[in-house]
Amino acid sequence: MIEILSRSWQETEHLGTTVGKLLKGISPVTLALSGELASGKTSFVKGLVKEICGEWWVHSPTFTIVNVYGTPPKVIHIDCYRISSYRELVSIGAEELIGSECICVIEWADKVKELLPADHISIHFEHIDETSRRILISDPTDIIEQPLRNRDI
């Protein structure tokens, strides 16, 4: 586990970009994001998607549940905020997306633990104050944790 302190939304977005660089060309990967509303999950995804797909228009798919970036899909962004159980996510076909040949990044992933592959990377966001967030990363694969340990974001 690695703990990172972000002092602005730009730093959180930049962390997403750094993680995007580390994950480029690697798939399948599942990133399980957790943390309360406005803790920075979507800010992180913005940086990730910009880096991997060059797309700038990124927002939480709160109502559509799933957004797909790149053709063929390079990043699949799932937001479980309005999902009440993993079965609901299964019913919209998300099971096939998680673990497919791309980077799957899931907000509110703690609601759908049953669907996460065993080797998923967990990223937890904690609100410290108006502009600071604590970000905890657990990466059993060590693809991102090890390099992040050795660099300044």
Ligand X SMILES: Nc1ncnc2c1ncn2[C@@H]1O[C@H](COP(=O)(O)OP(=O)(O)O)[C@@H](O)[C@H]1O
* Residues that bind Mg ion in the complex, under the rule CB under 5 A: 41-42, 60, 107
Contact partner, 132, from ligand X, Mg ion, none, Cβ < 5-8 Å per class: ligand X
- Specify the residue, 96 or 129, whose C-beta has the smaller distance to ligand X: 129
DSSP letter (8 states) at residue 71: T
Q: Which residues bind ligand X (CB under 6 A)?
A: 6-9, 11-12, 35, 37-43, 60, 107, 125, 131-133
CA dihedral angle for residue 108, residue 91, residue 121, residue 153, rounded to 10 degrees:
-50
Contact partner, 81, from Mg ion, ligand X, none, Cβ < 5-8 Å per class: none
Decide: residue 136, CB within 10 A, 0-12 exposed, 13-18 middle, 19+ buried.
middle
- Specify the residue, 58 or 102, whose C-beta has the smaller distance to ligand X: 58
CB of 16 to ligand X, least distance (A): 10
Going from the C-alpha of 16 to that of each of 87, 112, 115, 134, 150, the distances in angstroms are 29, 22, 23, 14, 16
Residues β-bridged to residue 136: 3, 124
Contact partner, 91, from Mg ion, ligand X, none, Cβ < 5-8 Å per class: none
Instruction: Work out whether strand 103-107 and strand 121-129 pair parallel, antiparallel, or are unpaired.
Output: unpaired
Dist CA 147 CA 57 (whole Å): 28
- Specify the residue, 37 or 118, whose C-beta has the smaller distance to ligand X: 37
Contact partner, 16, from ligand X, Mg ion, none, Cβ < 5-8 Å per class: none
- Specify the residue, 115 or 123, whose C-beta has the smaller distance to ligand X: 123
Contact partner, 9, from Mg ion, ligand X, none, Cβ < 5-8 Å per class: ligand X
